[in-house]
Amino acid sequence: MNDKNYNGFHQYQQSKLGDILLAKEFVARHNMEAVSAHPGVIRTNLGRHISIWDLIPLIFRILMSGQTFKTPEQGAATTVTCATLPSDSNEFVNGAHYDDCAIKEPTESANNEDDRKALYDYCDKVTKKFQ
């Protein structure tokens, strides 16, 4: 990765995929409760450093996907929902991916067990000195 081939949107997508993979692997390895949550597209100043030329295709992608911009409070709803769902309820599914306060089936790549394990092992290795 370098400045010439860096694509912020692609890297963002990869980070979201990583969240899903890691949640599933925490469940598999440690039998703990873990889910991944997507807050949605939130109206914040997070993109303030994005050039207008990079922003236009991003906004186009968002609009074409049917997503709407949310307030920070609306964006927090999925995380709060996941954190407060009782483990024994029908609405809580360990290892699931939540979007708009409901379970959403992630892409096929999010179900790759080899990628799950490899990412977990990599994260474990690079954080060893902090554990």
Positions marked active-site: 12
* 126 burial level (CB within 10 Å; 0-12, 13-18, 19+): exposed
- The label of the residue with tokens 């609405």 reads 91
CB atoms within 10 A of CB 5: 7
Pairing label, strands 97-99, 36-38? parallel
Pairing label, strands 102-103, 97-99? antiparallel
